């Protein structure tokens, strides 16, 4: 029998129940993703293709495609392994997405096999010298329709003013799979459970990576929740691992008063752990809180060591500041436009407007 996730992690995965930054203001309700065209996301590339090299960079548009199905389709149509396809990040299924993918250059003569795929279109073909890797993008630009909101545009603008001041960088529920199934699988992997599902998934590197990542994400959400509970998500702790907001450069908070001033000036941000075998841990007070997350979950960083490069660990900013955030009244509701850094979730922004987390 498979193990079950600790209650601390289950709580951290329920996005609808997590606190809102705009909680002094009531949400305006409404529906997101009633149709794929209501949710438009476009990658902001980290660099332009060089124009030469052994890889094709395809700028594509897809509608209502999840990433795993996309990879399978590309592998079948182009005659390659799914691992030969490079992507910068996993995108929402129920959406219109414009993004870059890479495939080996020998696929050029087979691109015609993609022309009749429903909901998929190659918009541009370039070349580059290496495969596109996860995380290699500057961010994502979103345009999201909130259908039939109960509140007014003026109420949405008031919420937007709060959101521009920064909000918790939670992982969205889609990270954890339907009803937490992906995180459950990852938990079984970490605990060394032998089930039919772990045996099947063990042969699928993509699914194995997503499952372990789901547990890492739940642990991060738990850490962030604990800091919010004691109002320390905007307070620098002794030993915090900080990051510069302009470059992401990491450093340790030794002088708390100085670092608090830099944070309030918008120069830096505190980070939380994406636990793994080589994660850079905090020190002092911040370390104690990190360790409490692990202890109450009943795991150690060494548990990630069996998964090698799949779970090395890293740090993640505790807060995000959506850029170019605008709200506009349209016939079907209110449209919300903004951009986010890589790995941050539009659903986390939209729940601020809808009002989830107030109960």
Active site residues: 92
Ordered by where they begin, the domains of the chain are 1-40+138-359 (3.30.2350.20), 47-134 (3.30.2350.20)
Residue 253 CA to residue 40 CA, distance in Å, equals 38
Is residue 119 within 8 A of residue 165, CB to CB? The reply is no
| One-letter-per-residue 3-state SS of 262-311 | HHHCCCEEEEEEECCCCCCCCCHHHHHHHHHHHHHHCCCHHHHHHHHHHH
Instruction: Report the 10 Å Cβ neighbour count for 359.
Output: 6
If you compute the radius of gyration of the chain from its CA atoms, what whole number of angstroms results?
21
175: alpha, beta or left? (left if phi > 0; alpha if psi -120 to 50)? alpha
pLDDT (tens digit, 9 = 90+) per residue, 79-120? 999 999 999 988 889 999 999 999 999 999 999 999 999 999
Task: Categorize the per-residue pLDDT at 357 as very low, low, confident or very high, splitting at 50, 70 and 90.
Answer: low
pLDDT (tens digit, 9 = 90+) per residue, 60-71? 999 999 988 999
Instruction: Report the 10 Å Cβ neighbour count for 24.
Output: 9
> In this model, does residue 359 exceed pLDDT 70?
no
pLDDT for position 3: 56
Percent over 90 (pLDDT), the chain: 81
Q: 298, 308, 324: which is closest to 8 by C-alpha? A: 298
Is residue 102 within 8 A of residue 57, CB to CB? The reply is yes
pLDDT for position 348: 95
pLDDT for position 194: 83
Antiparallel, parallel or unpaired: β 96-104 and 39-45: parallel
* Residue 250 structure tokens: 């990491």
pLDDT (tens digit, 9 = 90+) per residue, 190-214? 988 888 788 887 778 888 889 999 9
3-class secondary structure, 65: coil
Whole-prediction pTM value?
0.91
Is residue 348 within 8 A of residue 170, CB to CB? The reply is yes
pLDDT (tens digit, 9 = 90+) per residue, 242-277? 999 988 888 999 999 999 999 999 999 999 999 998
Is residue 135 within 8 A of residue 88, CB to CB? The reply is yes
- C-alpha distances in Å from residue 144, one per residue of 43, 177, 237, 282: 15, 22, 36, 36
* Secondary structure letter of residue 184 according to DSSP: H
């Amino acid at each position: 029998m498979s193990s079950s996730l600790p209650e601390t992690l289950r709580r951290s995965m329920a996005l609808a129940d997590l606190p809102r930054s705009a909680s002094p203001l009531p949400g305006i309700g409404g529906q997101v993703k009633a149709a794929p065209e209501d949710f438009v996301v476009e990658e902001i590339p980290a660099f332009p293709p060089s124009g030469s090299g052994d890889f094709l960079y395809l700028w594509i548009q897809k509608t209502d495609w999840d990433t795993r199905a996309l990879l399978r389709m590309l592998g079948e149509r182009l005659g390659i392994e799914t691992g030969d396809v490079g992507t910068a990040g996993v995108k929402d299924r129920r959406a219109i997405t414009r993004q870059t993918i890479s495939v080996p250059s020998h696929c050029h003569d087979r691109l015609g096999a993609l022309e009749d795929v429903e909901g998929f279109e190659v918009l541009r073909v370039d070349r580059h010298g290496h495969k596109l890797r996860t995380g290699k993008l500057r961010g994502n630009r979103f345009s999201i329709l909130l259908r039939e909101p109960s509140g007014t545009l003026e109420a949405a603008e008031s919420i937007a003013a709060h959101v521009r001041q920064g909000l918790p960088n939670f992982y969205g529920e889609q990270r954890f799979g339907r009803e937490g199934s992906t995180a459950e699988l990852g938990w079984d992997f970490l605990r060394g459970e032998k089930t039919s599902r772990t045996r099947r998934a063990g042969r699928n590197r993509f699914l194995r990576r997503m499952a372990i990542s789901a547990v890492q994400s739940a642990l991060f959400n738990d850490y962030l929740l604990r800091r919010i509970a004691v109002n320390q998500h905007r307070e620098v702790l002794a030993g915090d691992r900080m990051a510069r907001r302009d470059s992401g450069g990491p450093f340790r908070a030794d002088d708390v008063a100085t670092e608090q001033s830099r944070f309030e000036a918008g120069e830096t941000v505190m980070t939380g752990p994406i636990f793994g075998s080589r994660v850079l841990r905090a020190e002092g007070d911040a370390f104690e809180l990190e360790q409490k997350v692990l202890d109450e979950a009943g795991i150690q960083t060494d548990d990630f060591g069996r998964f090698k490069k799949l779970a090395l660990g890293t740090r993640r900013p505790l807060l995000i500041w959506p850029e170019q955030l605008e709200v506009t009244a349209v016939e079907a509701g209110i449209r919300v436009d903004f951009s986010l850094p890589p790995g941050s979730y539009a659903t986390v922004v939209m729940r601020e407007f809808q009002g989830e987390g107030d109960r």
